[in-house]
Chains A and B, each alone.
Chain A
């Protein structure tokens, strides 16, 4: 395969300088530019969600609800959840890293349906703006779970508008999912068999299947809430002849798999990064690949574990509990395989790998605390307490967001053509890790003590733990602000990266950084297994960047 490489100083055509008008961005069908559009917009919503989290933590500094009224507190935590889940966590890795990398990794010029891809971003923005509009015109106070009959018959907040926003965002996910499935099936380069695919692709494939199967269910369910609210159709509210538990079944049928929509792509990132910085093939490639599929399948069968306390029969509870223990196994298999990948590798402790190590630690805690919740006897005590809050933050922040940070740093040189500053990036990874644990470890204790979630007031004897959590949250906040500055700074001043600064395998590293609009000058032909790292030789030209450095290190 012939590869053309930029010489230092030479400005070559690439997707970034292919047009600089606003319209050239807003009407682009280039998957890489759409990834950038998504990067900017999800970052904005992450900021919004983060500020709302800051308000939650400030309020909980004292046991009395003194910073804001209960009405407002309920709106703040609801909107924190809605923004983080629907506008940040679900799209973040697929729509930013996935959009950018899926075509590159399979050796294609773009996704299968480039216009659908652009449409998905517009749908996302439309949904996001409607949700934002709902926020500024009164907000919602139902919790991101929208449980009826509270949401359908009692809440006086902007439930309908928010649900319409979420409904539209759902279509944007579906569009992305379909695009990935078709691209992965149909557009792989010659020689790129299924078992030569990077695990990032396997993870995105499994995620896309979940998105396409699950999202319609939640979309229709939420519309039914609107129907009950607006037209008083009796579906969920017993006063109208409905059944509120039916909603919970339908909602969790999607929303349990949705947690895997959030975390599987991060797992894909981890496989790429750990292998590159250990200079070894991912240990047990087939097991890691199939565990993604197993998670996607079993993940659809465990929704009832969110409903143990609803009056579900003891036997139904047992079935859902058993299945929940089974779904933990493939996740454990992945963790063991990543750990084994590092064994006897040649390890470069770069920032992305630090994030991966953070991911592994936090994901292990998040996953194991899931066992407390899958176990019937302990779950009935812990459900709807801060234990659950801590648990899902370990998965979603510790898992998804650290995975995203690892990937963002790892592929930053590919996306922008510049290196990020290594020292501060490493420091930031440590700040995030420390801040995260200080924030959420005390919440496990609070939950065990019995602190219910979504509480504005709480008993005085728990204040100390809340103070620790709030302190951690501000450290965590600093950790998330720092990358905004140093990554932006690197756009102008970072060292030029060259096509393959990490000496990584994978088709995306065989093209320029940033890549040209059509990715490949000629269709690549794949002849090697994935992760063909040579553990015994020092790769040449690694980690220096091929370009002239404009920064001192």
Chain B
């Protein structure tokens, strides 16, 4: 039996802020529990049958008291609400522009991580300290939840929809990664480690293709051996050609389908008049369920790729389409 741990580690910018609020709430809890507990016990003893304590002036109700003990909890509640909501909005709002983008796929019962440069890891995640990291996450089967206690962050990983979470790790080290949403038999084994590296170590780790491992690896986890480390968008490009997406999507609009150059982040007008911002979720949906949102000016002729592509491949395509900036030199279109 190892020693008792009583405090979780703080390893993200968010952690110490959450803890401040947590300890404030602990103080509130202890204060009111002790106050009420002491009053109840004190009254029970002081006013026990037979005691001579004066009962004169006992009341049945008192409006001023009722108002104050409604308003005091209300005020404390509102203070905590605002404090917590502000903190949450800053941590769960849109990620900073310069965030490092990493993709996470949850499946029964493992975590699969894809770095933009092609490194893939299972049940491990290597990140640099001091730089915001944005995770785009999806599940291949049931609902999971990505939980790193040392960062105080948690986000459900849903099937059929990307969920995003971001954080900035502060302290190099090795931290627990848990699945927090019950997902079946091996739920409690769907765990792993997050390695926070000094930026220099991280560069080394990247350059070595994930081989330079500063920590020992638990069995079953680690970088996938023998897997080509073509970067995510290169893999996507290959897939794009293989699946002949370019039969309809070319360098410019006006072909059978709209162009993908400059698509990411653009506002796209749909047939029914709605306007949608082209984010990862939209691109994914357009590939798997093209009929859900049909772009204005085009016929709904795009085939659905649902069932043909696993989430890993969809991610590669998304990464590729994201990389196509409008200024990019027009690639050659093979009809």
Instruction: Assess A280 versus B156: contact at CB under 8 Å? Given A348-B48, A375-B25.
Output: no
9 contacting pairs across A/B (C-beta < 8 A): A70-B188, A154-B142, A155-B184, A286-B61, A325-B81, A360-B36, A381-B153, A383-B154, A452-B188
Q: Which residue of B lies closest to A459 (CB)?
A: B176
Q: Nearest CB to that of A457 among chain B residues?
A: B188
Interface residues of A in 62-80 (CB under 8 A from B): 65, 70-71, 74
* Interface presence of A16 (CB below 8 A): no
A378 to B145, CA, bound (A): 16
Pick from A344, A348, A379: contact of B55, CB below 8 A: A344
B225 contacts A by Cβ under 8 Å: no
CB neighbours of A335 from chain B (8 A): 36
Assess whether B2 is interfacial by the CB under 8 Å rule. Answer: yes
In the assembled complex, the CB of B311 is this many whole angstroms from the nearest CB of chain A, namely 11
Q: Is A452 a contact of B178 with CB atoms below 8 Å?
A: yes
Chain B contact residues: helix, strand, loop or mixed: mixed
Chain A residues 259 to 285 lying within 8 A of chain B, measured CB to CB, are 278, 280-281, 283-285
Given contacts A283-B59, A345-B58, A384-B147, contact A329 B73 (CB under 8 A): yes
**Given A150-B184, A454-B187, A535-B58, A309 and B88 contact (CB-CB distance below 8 Å):** no
Which of B57, B61, B182 touches A285 (beta carbons < 8 Å)? B61
Interchain CB contact under 8 A, B58 and A377: no
Indicate if B18 sits at the interface (CB-CB under 8 A). Answer: yes
Known: A154-B141, A449-B5. A344 touches B184 (CB 8 A): no
**B244-260: which residues lie under 8 A (CB-CB) from chain A?**
none
Q: Are B182 and A454 in contact (CB under 8 A)?
A: yes
Q: Which residues of chain A come closer than 8 Å to B18, judged between CB atoms?
A: 377-378, 381
Among B43, B57, B152, contact of A381 (Cβ-Cβ < 8 Å): B152
Judged by a CB distance under 8 angstroms, whether A349 is at the interface is yes
> How near does chain B come to A369, taking the closest CB pair, in angstroms?
6
A455 to B149, CA, bound (A): 15
Give Cα distance in the complex from A70 to B182, angstroms: 12
C-alpha spacing A325/B47, complex, angstroms: 34
Can you list, as one digit per residue, whether each of A225-245 has a CB less than 8 Å from chain B (1) or not (0)?
Answer: 000000000000111000111
C-alpha gap A450/B12 in the complex (Å): 15
Nearest B residue to A343 by beta-carbon distance?
Answer: B43
Give Cα A369–Cα B29 distance, bound, in whole angstroms. Answer: 7
Min CB distance A283 to B, Å, is: 6
* A149 proximal to B (CB < 8 A): yes
Indicate whether A244 sits within 8 Å of B158 (C-beta atoms), given known contacts A332-B73, A361-B33, A368-B33. Answer: yes
**Cβ-neighbour of A457 out of B3, B32, B74, B189 (below 8 A):** B189
- CB contacts (< 8 Å) of A348 on chain B: these are 48-49
Q: Does B308 contact A (CB under 8 A)?
A: no
Contact B1 A449 (CB under 8 A): no
Question: Of B37, B47, B150, which contacts A346 at CB under 8 A?
Answer: B47
CB within 8 Å of B: which of A149-207? 149-150, 153-155
Contact A455 B32, CB 8 Å, known A154-B141, A332-B69, A381-B154: no
Decide: A150 and B142 in contact? CB cutoff 8 A.
yes
Residue in contact with A342 in the complex, picked from B28, B44, B93, B142, CB distance below 8 Å: B44
Stretch at the interface among B125-133, B159-167, B269-277, B318-326: B159-167
Query: With the chains together, A362 CA to B21 CA distance in Å?
Result: 22
Tell me if A221 is interfacial: C-beta within 8 Å of chain B: no
Q: Mark B6-25, 1 if CB is under 8 A from A, else 0.
A: 11100000100110011001
Query: Could you say which of B8, B69, B145 has the most chain A C-beta atoms within 10 Å of its C-beta?
Result: B69
Q: Please tell me the number of chain B residues within 8 Å of chain A, measured between CB atoms.
A: 88
- Cβ-based interface call for B207 (8 A): no
Bound: A379/B21 CA distance, A: 11
A380 engages B152 (CB within 8 Å)? yes
**A368 near B163 (CB under 8 angstroms)?**
no
Q: Which residues of B contact A141 (CB under 8 A)?
A: 184-185
Q: Is the CB of B142 within 8 A of A149?
A: yes
Shortest C-beta distance, B248 to chain A (Å), equals 24
Do residues A371 and B77 form an inter-chain contact, with CB atoms below 8 A?
A: yes
**Bound-complex Cα distance A331 to B176 (A):** 37
- A365 interface contact, C-beta 8 A: yes
Question: Is A342 a contact of B40 with CB atoms below 8 Å?
Answer: yes
**A421-456, CB under 8 A of B: which get 1 and which 0?**
000000000000000000000000100111011111
For A330, give the chain B residue with the smallest CB separation. Answer: B70
Closest to B186 in A: A70
Question: CA A256 – CA B159 in complex, angstroms?
Answer: 25
CB-CB under 8 A for A445 and B6, given A343-B43, A376-B87, A380-B92: yes
Cβ-based interface call for B66 (8 A): yes
**What is the distance, in angstroms, from A535's C-beta to the closest C-beta of chain B?**
6
A536 contacts B by Cβ under 8 Å: yes
Residues of A within 8 A of B179 (CB): 452
Q: Does B203 contact A (CB under 8 A)?
A: no
Task: Determine the chain B residues whose CB is within 8 A of the CB of A467 once the complex forms.
Answer: 1
B230 within 8 A of A: no
Asked if B78 is at the interface (CB within 8 A of a chain A CB), the reply is: yes
Q: Is the CB of A448 within 8 A of B22?
A: yes
Q: Mark B39-72, 1 if CB is under 8 A from A, else 0.
A: 1110110011100011111111110011001100
Q: Are A458 and B188 CB-contacts (below 8 A) given A149-B141, A329-B77?
A: yes
Residue on B nearest A365 in the bound complex, by CB: B33
Q: Is B181 an interface residue (CB 8 A)?
A: yes
Q: Is B212 an interface residue (CB 8 A)?
A: no
Report the minimum CB–CB distance from B135 to chain A (whole Å). 13
A150 to B85 Cα, complex, angstroms: 31
Instruction: Knowing that A321-B85, A333-B66, A346-B48 touch, tell me 10 more A-B residue pairs with CB under 8 angstroms.
Output: A65-B188, A153-B142, A336-B65, A343-B47, A345-B47, A361-B36, A383-B180, A452-B147, A457-B189, A459-B176
* Assembled-state Cα–Cα distance A152/B320 (Å): 34
Do A287 and B176 form a contact, CB below 8 Å, given A149-B159, A381-B153, A384-B181?
no
Q: Which of B53, B58, B85, B178 contacts A450 (CB 8 A)?
A: B178
Q: Is A310's CB under 8 angstroms from B28's CB?
A: no
A186 to chain B, nearest CB (A): 29
> Cβ of B65: which chain A residues have Cβ within 8 Å of it?
284, 336, 340
A347-B43 contact given A287-B66, A364-B32, CB 8 Å threshold? yes
* B175-200 near A? 1/0 per residue, CB < 8 Å: 01011111111111100000000000
